[in-house]
Amino acid sequence: MLETMPDRNKLDRLLITIEHCSPPDEAEFAREHINEARTYLLGAMPTEFRVSLELARESLSRMNATKARQEAQKLLATISRMDRYS
């Protein structure tokens, strides 16, 4: 069984980090994709997991350049190395 707890915790931290990002609609899109990625991670669905992370990354790129967005992007980069879930 794969150890998913560290990545799940990172996804949870990512959700908290983007709470105050703007524009709000892009933050909501990112939040939806991160929640989907969390579900796919826990459900052992690696392809869907990676797609959701990529969609979250795209949403983050459309947000205003803020400290929260930069933190979120750094955190997402540590999660996106998911070859072990293939």
Residues 40 and 73: beta-carbon distance below 8 Å: no
Q: Quick one: pLDDT at residue 81?
A: 56
Residues 75 and 17: beta-carbon distance below 8 Å: yes
Confidence class for position 1, pLDDT limits 50, 70, 90: very low
What range defines the domain where residue 56 resides?
Answer: 5-85
> What is the number of domains present in the chain?
1
> For residue range 39-83, what is the model confidence (pLDDT) as tens digits?
988 888 888 988 999 999 999 888 887 888 888 888 888 885 555
Give the three-class secondary structure for 10: helix
Could you tell me the pTM of the whole model? 0.78
